[in-house]
Homo-oligomer: A and B are copies of this chain.
Amino acid sequence: MKAKTAKVMEIPEEEKRLDKQLCFAVYATAHAFTRAYKPILDKVGLTYPQYLVMLVLWEKAELPVKTIGEQLDLDSGTLSPLLKRLEQNGLIKRTRDSRDERQVIVSLTPKGQAMRAEINTIMSSIGEAIGCTLEEMGAMREMLTRLRGNLNASL
């Protein structure tokens, strides 16, 4: 039975530069997105991760914490305090599921529902900042989604 033969190839020096790293391109773009969203989301009092949670809830107004975590790829260690802040801001409500008391059901308050009206403004603003064609955006999104699948599969 052969042990794991880690094929360690010699990488050309050129390829070792920071600006040649795909990981860094993704990392830095993620931060750029957060910064671009900030002035827009400040107006409605949301952080970017909180906005993502709201996006999930605007699709389905009532979900257990676990499902939200699956969709955003976040664990309860991140979501618990974040949801607590959304609750304090009056956007969501948290209730134990009577069918399974382990679960906490997150649901939108009227205020949280009403905020959905801001989607058009938010997405239009960010769309302008992105400055790509819809085709490019779609292509990038698909490539990234596949890449993410590969990375997750490698674990």
Contact = CB atoms under 8 A, between A and B. Distances in A.
Interface of A: 6-11, 15-33, 35-37, 39, 48, 52, 55-56, 58-59, 71-73, 119-121, 123-126, 128-132, 136-137, 139-141, 143-148, 150-155
A30 B153 CA distance: 15
A3 to B, nearest CB: 15
Give the copy number: 2
Given A6-B125, A27-B33, A121-B8, A18 B59 contact: yes
Chain A interface mostly:
helix
Contact of A143 (B11, B39, B119, B140): B140
A121 B8 CA distance: 6
